[in-house]
């Protein structure tokens, strides 16, 4: 069976791309420094950008940390399996290449049946960044993984399109009060409620290491803004524009994709739409902005990393 094969490859130090509820991950045994080094190489990822370690249980997570605070356990019980990555002080078991030399490790238990079966079967923690070339949009289908990484990966588990479409929330619990390093489907407000303390968004200088790099960006220049700014641009420009619309109708680019107003659908469809337009040889990709509530924070965060405001 495919899961058995994928698990065997992981145990032998190979690379397996697999679906999660957020985006596809490129996995290797997190405790095998050689295997993890290959992830960086295949992705073209800077060695200073640490990886998320995926686990099948809270018990397995506890083997990766030097201590597991009660607050972390509370978050795990409430949100795992799910799109929440928790940063904690690492144990000596975790090789430094996995955490890019940091004293902390980022851990999450994904909410996807194939991912969970793979993790259980492999019976090792699995380091997995998004399975794209470094800097580009994350993959939300197995096809995206193949387009980006092709035969540089030993195995691709196909679980169809991912449900959420944006990467997990990252919260740093190695300090108190905790800090939100990357917004995602689980919001700062949800975390604050469970922890009983206000979880702050990281100031720009103290973002997650990965947030310093160019990220999520297509090759085609990307801009984002509200409908009226888009309309003004379309009236004035001679450039060929690919449009990704959310709430408004009636605007027309050279190519137009409509994701609809529901923020979940925008999150789910955004990377796929950007990838499609990126293949068209356009001068510009323009995305209609969304309100910053719920997962809207995460959507706007990724757009700011991928391009510039109109
Ligand atoms: O949804 C997700 O999180 C997906 C799936 C595959 O699980 N993974 C993912 O991985 O998005 P990646 O490598 O693309 O993003 C990991 C983020 C980066 O911003 C990285 O800097 C941050 O997590 N990170 C990892 N370890 C960290 C640590 N010890 N301290 C602070 N940030 C860390
Ligand atoms: Mg990534």
> What is the average pLDDT across 261-277?
98
Ligand 1 atom at minimum distance from 83 CA: 1
Instruction: Please report the pLDDT score of residue 249 as a whole number.
Output: 86
Instruction: Please report the pLDDT score of residue 211 as a whole number.
Output: 59
203: confidence class by pLDDT, cuts 50, 70, 90: confident
Q: Please, what is the average pLDDT of the chain?
A: 95
Distance CA 138, CA 161 (A): 12
The answer to whether 273 touches 283, Cβ cutoff 8 Å, is no
Instruction: Please report the pLDDT score of residue 207 as a whole number.
Output: 58
Instruction: Please report the pLDDT score of residue 208 as a whole number.
Output: 62
Residues of the chain with pLDDT > 90, as a percent, come to: 94
Q: Which ligand is nearest to the CA of 202?
A: 1
Handedness of CA 280, 282, 287, 288 (dihedral sign): negative
Ligand 1 pocket residue status of 140, Cβ below 6 Å: no
pLDDT > 70? residue 156 = yes
pLDDT in tens, 235-256: 999 999 999 999 998 899 899 9
| Torsion angle, alpha carbons of 149, 18, 94, 214, to 10 | 50
The answer to whether 55 touches 139, Cβ cutoff 8 Å, is no
Largest distance between two CA atoms of the chain:
59
Ligand 1 atom at minimum distance from 26 CA: 6
Phi-psi label, residue 154: left if phi above 0, alpha if psi -120 to 50, beta otherwise = alpha
pLDDT in tens, 136-153: 999 999 999 999 999 999
Handedness of CA 255, 301, 295, 227 (dihedral sign): negative
pLDDT in tens, 34-90: 999 999 999 999 999 999 999 999 999 999 999 999 999 999 999 999 999 999 999
Instruction: Please report the pLDDT score of residue 210 as a whole number.
Output: 61
Per-position b or e across 244-282, b if 16+ CB within 10 A of its CB: bbbbeeebebebebbbeeebeebbbbbbbbbbbbbeeeb
Query: Ligand 1 pocket check: which of 98, 208, 213 to mutate, most ligand atoms within 8 Å of Cβ?
Result: 208
Q: How far is the CA of 52 from the centre of ligand 1 (A)?
A: 5
Q: How far is the CA of 164 from the centre of ligand 2 (A)?
A: 15
Helix axes 113-122, 2-11, angle to 10 degrees: 50
Ligand 1 pocket residue status of 187, Cβ below 6 Å: no
**DSSP H helical segments within 107-175, as ranges?**
113-122, 142-149
Instruction: Please report the pLDDT score of residue 202 as a whole number.
Output: 81
Q: How far is the CA of 165 from the centre of ligand 1 (A)?
A: 15
Ligand 1 pocket residue status of 100, Cβ below 6 Å: no
Residues bordering ligand 2, an ion, CB closer than 5 Å: 130
Who contacts 24 (Cβ-Cβ below 8 Å, separation ≥6)?
Answer: 17, 18, 130, 131, 138, 139, 140, 141, 142, 144, 145, 162
Ligand 1 pocket residue status of 202, Cβ below 6 Å: no
Tokens encoding 126: 């699995």
Query: Ligand 1 pocket check: which of 20, 43, 52 to mutate, most ligand atoms within 8 Å of Cβ?
Result: 52
Who contacts 41 (Cβ-Cβ below 8 Å, separation ≥6)?
Answer: none
Q: How far is the CA of 273 from the centre of ligand 2 (A)?
A: 17
Tokens encoding 108: 């999450």
The answer to whether 267 touches 138, Cβ cutoff 8 Å, is no
Q: How far is the CA of 291 from the centre of ligand 2 (A)?
A: 23
Ligand 1 pocket residue status of 51, Cβ below 6 Å: yes
Handedness of CA 183, 184, 188, 189 (dihedral sign): positive
Instruction: Please report the pLDDT score of residue 69 as a whole number.
Output: 97
Our CA angle for 12, 16, 18, nearest 5°, is 140
Element (H, E) at 190: helix 188-195
204: confidence class by pLDDT, cuts 50, 70, 90: low
Instruction: Please report the pLDDT score of residue 206 as a whole number.
Output: 57
Query: Ligand 1 pocket check: which of 130, 149, 162 to mutate, most ligand atoms within 8 Å of Cβ?
Result: 130
Ligand 1 pocket residue status of 182, Cβ below 6 Å: yes
| Torsion angle, alpha carbons of 44, 129, 190, 248, to 10 | 60
- Nearest-CA residue for atom 10 of ligand 1: 129
């Amino acid at each position: 069976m495919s899961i058995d094969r994928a698990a065997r490859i992981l145990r032998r130090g190979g690379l397996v791309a697999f679906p999660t509820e957020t985006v596809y991950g490129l996995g290797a045994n997190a405790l095998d420094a050689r295997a993890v080094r290959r992830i960086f190489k295949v992705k073209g990822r800077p060695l200073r950008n640490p990886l998320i370690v995926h686990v099948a249980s809270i018990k397995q997570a506890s083997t990766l940390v030097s201590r597991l605070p009660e607050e972390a356990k509370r978050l795990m019980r409430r949100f795992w399996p799910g799109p929440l990555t928790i940063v904690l002080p690492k144990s000596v078991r975790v090789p430094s290449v996995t955490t890019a030399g940091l004293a902390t490790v980022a851990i999450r238990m994904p909410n996807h049946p194939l991912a969970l079966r793979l993790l259980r079967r492999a019976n090792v923690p699995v380091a997995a960044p998004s399975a794209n070339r470094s800097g580009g949009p994350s993959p939300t289908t197995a096809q995206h993984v193949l387009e980006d990484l092709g035969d540089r990966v030993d195995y691709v588990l196909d679980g169809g399109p991912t449900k959420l479409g944006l990467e997990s929330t990252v919260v740093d619990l190695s300090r108190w009060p905790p800090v939100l390093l990357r917004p995602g489907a689980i919001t700062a407000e949800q975390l604050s409620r469970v922890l009983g303390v206000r979880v702050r968004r990281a100031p720009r200088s103290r973002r997650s290491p990965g947030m310093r790099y160019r990220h999520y960006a297509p090759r085609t220049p990307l801009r984002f803004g509200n409908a009226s700014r888009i309309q003004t641009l379309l009236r004035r420009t001679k450039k060929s524009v690919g449009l990704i619309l959310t709430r408004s109708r009636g605007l027309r680019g050279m190519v137009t994709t409509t994701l609809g107003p529901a923020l979940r659908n925008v999150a789910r469809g955004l990377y796929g739409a950007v990838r499609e337009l990126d293949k068209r040889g356009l001068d510009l990709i323009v995305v209609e902005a969304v309100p910053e509530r719920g997962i809207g924070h995460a959507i706007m965060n990724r757009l700011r990393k991928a391009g510039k405001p109109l």
